[in-house]
């Protein structure tokens, strides 16, 4: 399979020599072409990925992997590794299923030896000093760079010492997620409003998540039903909404109002209106909207990065303060959906997205759980639910908004 493929995490000059010797296709992450299509169909003897961990993962899977399928193609990848969720870190640890040995040949250069790392030393250790290349071996400069990395130990470890450290970019703390999914509470009230958070399909995957809940007497959000399903047709969408709403209705009164919170980012007003309409088949419903039009507001909300951050913050607070719990009979179509929800929450992290148009514009901070092609639809649906259900007001009998 990928027998002939090797990864060398190796110093730059080797890369340069290799470029000189081979028919090369060098992808610098910072100038990776915007449309990968231009790269396709190119055969290569040696693929060299410089700063591989920064390469867009889509370019790797769509362009590089097919190239590697061609006999006698080799890949050289060099990079300072990013955190363990990065695809490059995954490659380094991949095992050949047949031999159980490493899939790639990996050469790691760390400036702290195992023994010193075990002692908790977080700086260049005396046993690895000789690895510092001559052009960097300058004590005064070392002091200066260290000072410049002050307050960013993770960055220092990563960039100067070549050591990836655990992600400190997580959006939610793991302990409170574990606490939340371990809860199991009975319903002690007959809620007047039940909120339905819906993350619609889009952004590279076809999963839709629906997470519903209501507030108990002490104002804690109780999660009543969670679902995630791949949606590829309108019929499926209809069936999924119907299934979710029917299960919800078993536990709440016929007069309880379903308040939809539908993200319209991908499907636009058309899809959010369609989903809202489908929900209306299942009793009284209201729809949260961010439509600015005063008359005839359409259901659905667009989440900017700023709003996503507010959503994250609200959920994080609820998790920390134990103001969110699971209904003891939490209803979902597939076993394991709650486990999946917890996994997605733990995966959510901040990533920095470079501007595609300018190198000088500040990089955008984004929240995502789509690490290594995995989904984050349930986590997003829960964030929608926790933020938009707070302090909502009924605008006109059909739509609601957040105060
Ligand atoms: C509401 O849920 C919270 C969180 O689980 C719980 O601590 C609280 O006791 C519940 N309140 C009522 C009145 O059931």
Residue 64, ligand 1, Cβ within 6 A: no
Ligand 1 midpoint to CA 42 (Å): 60
DSSP-H helix ranges across 250-359: 268-280, 305-320, 337-347
State the distance between the two ends of the chain, measured CA to CA, in whole angstroms: 57
pLDDT for the residue 250: 93
Instruction: Tell me the backbone φ, ψ of residue 343, rounded to 5 degrees.
Output: -60, -45
Ligand 1 midpoint to CA 227 (Å): 23
Distance CA 313, CA 170 (A): 12
Q: Is the pLDDT of residue 246 over 70?
A: yes
The residue extents of the domains of the chain are 2-93, 114-159, 174-401
Instruction: Tell me the backbone φ, ψ of residue 19, rounded to 5 degrees.
Output: -60, -40
Residue 24, strand partner residues: 46
Residue 183, ligand 1, Cβ within 6 A: yes
Which atom belonging to ligand 1 lies closest to the Cα atom of 324?
4
**CATH number listed for the domain at residues 174-401:** 3.30.420.320
164 or 170: which carries more pLDDT confidence?
Answer: 170
Q: Is the dihedral of CA 380, 382, 385, 387 positive or negative?
A: negative
Which atom belonging to ligand 1 lies closest to the Cα atom of 216?
1
Question: Closest residue (by CA) to atom 5 of ligand 1?
Answer: 325
Residue 185, ligand 1, Cβ within 6 A: yes
Which range is least confidently modeled, 173-177, 206-210, 329-333?
329-333
Which range is least confidently modeled, 221-225, 266-270, 398-402?
398-402
pLDDT for the residue 278: 96
Which atom belonging to ligand 1 lies closest to the Cα atom of 217?
13
Mean pLDDT of 271-293: 92
pLDDT in tens, 130-151: 777 777 777 777 777 777 777 6
DSSP state of 334: S
Regarding beta strands 74-78 and 193-199, do their DSSP bridges make them parallel or antiparallel, or are they unpaired? Answer: unpaired
22 or 159: which carries more pLDDT confidence?
Answer: 159
Residue 294, ligand 1, Cβ within 6 A: no
Ligand 1 midpoint to CA 229 (Å): 30
Q: In this prediction, what percent of the chain has a pLDDT beyond 70?
A: 78
Ligand 1 midpoint to CA 181 (Å): 14
Residue 325, ligand 1, Cβ within 6 A: yes
386 or 349: which carries more pLDDT confidence?
Answer: 386
Ligand 1 midpoint to CA 183 (Å): 10
Average model confidence (pLDDT) across the chain: 80
Packing angle, helices 305-320 and 174-181, rounded to 10: 70
Q: Is the pLDDT of residue 317 over 80?
A: yes
Question: Closest residue (by CA) to atom 11 of ligand 1?
Answer: 218
Count H helices and E strands in the chain, helices first.
Answer: 13, 13
Burial group, residue 384, by CB count within 10 angstroms (0-12, 13-18, 19+): buried
Residue 187, ligand 1, Cβ within 6 A: no
Q: Is the pLDDT of residue 174 over 70?
A: yes
Most confident of 111-125, 201-215, 245-259, 372-386: 245-259
Q: Is the pLDDT of residue 20 over 50?
A: no
* Of 76, 56, 80, nearest in space to 67 by CA: 76
Give the pTM: 0.62
pLDDT for the residue 358: 54
* Of 85, 64, 84, nearest in space to 7 by CA: 64
DSSP letter string over 348-370?
A: -EEEEE--SS-SSSPPEEEEE--
5 or 393: which carries more pLDDT confidence?
Answer: 393
Q: Is the pLDDT of residue 118 over 90?
A: no
pLDDT in tens, 369-385: 887 677 899 999 999 99
Mean pLDDT of 262-272: 90
199 or 160: which carries more pLDDT confidence?
Answer: 199
Which range is least confidently modeled, 54-58, 287-291, 346-350?
54-58
Q: Is the pLDDT of residue 356 over 60?
A: no
Ligand 1 midpoint to CA 333 (Å): 25
SS3 (DSSP) at 284: coil
Ligand 1 midpoint to CA 193 (Å): 17
């Amino acid at each position: 399979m990928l027998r002939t493929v090797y990864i060398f995490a190796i110093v730059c000059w080797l890369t340069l020599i290799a470029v000189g010797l081979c028919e090369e296709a060098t992808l610098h992450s910072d100038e990776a072409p915007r449309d990968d299509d231009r790269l396709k169909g190119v055969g290569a003897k040696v693929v060299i990925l410089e700063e591989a961990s920064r390469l867009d993962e889509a370019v790797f899977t769509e362009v590089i992997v097919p190239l590697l399928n061609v006999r006698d193609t080799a890949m050289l990848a060099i990079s300072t590794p990013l955190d363990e969720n990065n695809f490059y870190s995954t490659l380094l640890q991949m095992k050949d299923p047949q031999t159980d040995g490493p899939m790639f040949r990996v050469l790691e250069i760390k400036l702290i030896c195992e023994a010193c790392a075990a002692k908790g030393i977080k700086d260049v250790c005396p046993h690895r000093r000789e690895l510092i290349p001559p052009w960097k071996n300058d004590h005064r400069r070392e002091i200066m760079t260290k000072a410049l990395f002050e307050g960013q130990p993770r960055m220092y470890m990563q960039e100067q010492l070549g050591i990836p450290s655990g992600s400190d970019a997580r959006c939610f703390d793991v302990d409170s997620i574990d606490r939340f999914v371990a809860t199991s509470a009975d319903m002690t009230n007959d809620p007047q409003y039940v909120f339905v958070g819906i993350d619609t399909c889009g952004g590279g995957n076809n999963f839709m998540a629906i997470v519903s809940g209501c507030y108990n007497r002490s104002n804690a959000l109780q999660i009543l039903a969670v679902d995630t399903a791949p949606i590829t047709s309108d019929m499926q969408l209809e069936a999924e909404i119907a299934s979710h709403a029917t299960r919800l209705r078993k536990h709440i009164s016929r007069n309880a109002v379903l308040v939809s919170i539908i993200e319209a980012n991908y499907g636009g007003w058309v899809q959010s209106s369609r989903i809202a309409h489908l929900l209306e088949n299942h009793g009284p419903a209201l729809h949260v909207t961010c439509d600015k039009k005063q008359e005839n507001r359409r259901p659905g909300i667009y989440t900017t990065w700023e709003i996503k951050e507010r959503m994250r913050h609200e959920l994080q607070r609820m998790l920390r303060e134990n103001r969110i719990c699971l209904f003891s009979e939490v209803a979902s179509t597939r076993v394991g959906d709650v486990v999946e929800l917890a996994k997605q929450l733990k995966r959510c992290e901040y990533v920095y997205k470079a501007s595609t148009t300018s190198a000088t514009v500040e990089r955008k901070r984004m929240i995502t759980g789509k690490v290594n092609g995995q989904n984050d639809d349930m986590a997003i649906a829960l964030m929608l639910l926790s933020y938009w259900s707070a302090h909502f007001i009924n605008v006109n009998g059909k739509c609601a908004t957040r105060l």
